[in-house]
């Protein structure tokens, strides 16, 4: 079975900082990876699909890269409204979420 | 605008049953596969089950296989999850999510706000 390892599990950064989250698959998953944002008490929201495509309406400070086993999600300039937990999600025969990364403001 | 509204969550004893519902609006319901995704308190996301546009294909996570049954009524624009033999580890917020196609693509582009299921004696 494919395993998804997301890191770090939490991070603290200042407003304006560049934030990077990684997601590693245990085997080649092509670009079958999405990224979600979940704010406290809210449902998840799709931000990035197919590893690097920005969902409509999502600010351009969010981006994703990667292919195969290693993927990166970046917030180019952290804003106060970006405080949330971020999840990667692999999709193929079976959807599988990473463990999540809680992003806080320093 | 896509709207998904879950209902049916409750406090229930272990071993009992519960049926969740999800009412959809703002899109052509019978064009899309639908899913249930859950989140235990303070934990991550777990896909539970999915159903294709015409109910021809259904799938389940191993953790619920044989206990949960997904169904849909396209005329009523509604999705359901029948949960039997509930366990304490089924305690979670249950979200209804819309796929991007009638078959399984597992792109959860729209979500409801969730309904809370608590399994406890």
Give the whole-number percent of chain A exceeding pLDDT 70: 100
Dihedral (CA of B43, A11, A87, B112) sign: positive
pLDDT at A94: 83
Q: What mean pLDDT, rounded, does chain B reach? A: 97
Digit-coded pLDDT (tens) for B51-70? 999 999 999 999 999 999 99
- Closest by CA to B64, choosing from B120, B109, B117, B121, is B117
Q: What is the pLDDT of residue B31?
A: 96
Q: Quick one: pLDDT at residue A93?
A: 75
Task: Report mean pLDDT in 10-residue bins for chain B, 121 residues.
Answer: 97 98 97 98 96 96 97 98 98 97 91 98 95
Tell me the backbone φ, ψ of residue B65, rounded to 5 degrees. Answer: -60, 135
pLDDT given for residue A35 in this prediction:
98
Q: Are B55 and B71 in contact (CB under 8 A)?
A: yes
Contact (CB, 8 A) for A35 and A97: no
What local confidence, expressed as pLDDT, does residue B83 receive?
98
Distance CA B31, CA A15 (A): 42
Measured CA to CA, the distance from residue A84 to residue B118 in angstroms comes to: 24
- Whether the CB of B41 is below 8 Å from some CB of chain A: the reply is no
Q: Do A97 and B44 touch (CB under 8 A)?
A: yes
Chain A residue with CA closest to B109: the answer is A46
Chains A, B: CB pairs < 8 Å? 48
Please, which residues bridge with residue A53 across strands? A49
What's the confidence (pLDDT) of residue A88?
97
pLDDT tens digits along A10-36: 999 999 999 999 999 999 999 999 999
* Helix (H) or strand (E) segment spanning residue B54: none
pLDDT at B105: 86
């Amino acid at each position: 079975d494919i395993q998804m390892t997301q890191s770090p599990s939490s991070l603290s950064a200042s407003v304006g900082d560049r934030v990077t989250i990684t997601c590693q698959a245990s085997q080649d998953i092509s670009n079958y990876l999405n990224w979600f944002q979940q704010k406290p008490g809210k449902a998840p929201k799709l931000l990035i699909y197919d590893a690097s495509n920005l969902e409509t309406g999502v600010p351009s400070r969010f981006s994703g890269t990667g292919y195969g086993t290693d993927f990166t999600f970046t917030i180019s300039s952290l804003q106060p409204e970006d405080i949330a937990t971020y999840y990667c999600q692999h999709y193929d025969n079976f959807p599988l979420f990473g463990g999540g990364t809680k992003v806080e403001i320093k | 605008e896509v709207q998904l509204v879950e209902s049916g969550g409750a406090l229930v004893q272990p071993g009992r049953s519960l049926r969740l519902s999800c009412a959809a609006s703002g899109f052509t319901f019978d064009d899309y596969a639908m899913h249930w995704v859950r989140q235990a308190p303070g934990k991550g996301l777990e896909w539970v089950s999915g159903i294709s546009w015409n109910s021809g294909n259904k799938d389940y996570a191993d953790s619920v296989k044989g206990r949960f049954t997904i169904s849909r009524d396209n005329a009523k624009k509604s999705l359901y999850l029948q949960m039997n033999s509930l366990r304490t580890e089924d305690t979670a917020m249950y979200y209804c999510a819309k796929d991007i196609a009638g078959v399984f693509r597992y792109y959860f582009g729209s979500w409801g706000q969730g309904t809370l299921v608590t399994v406890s004696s």
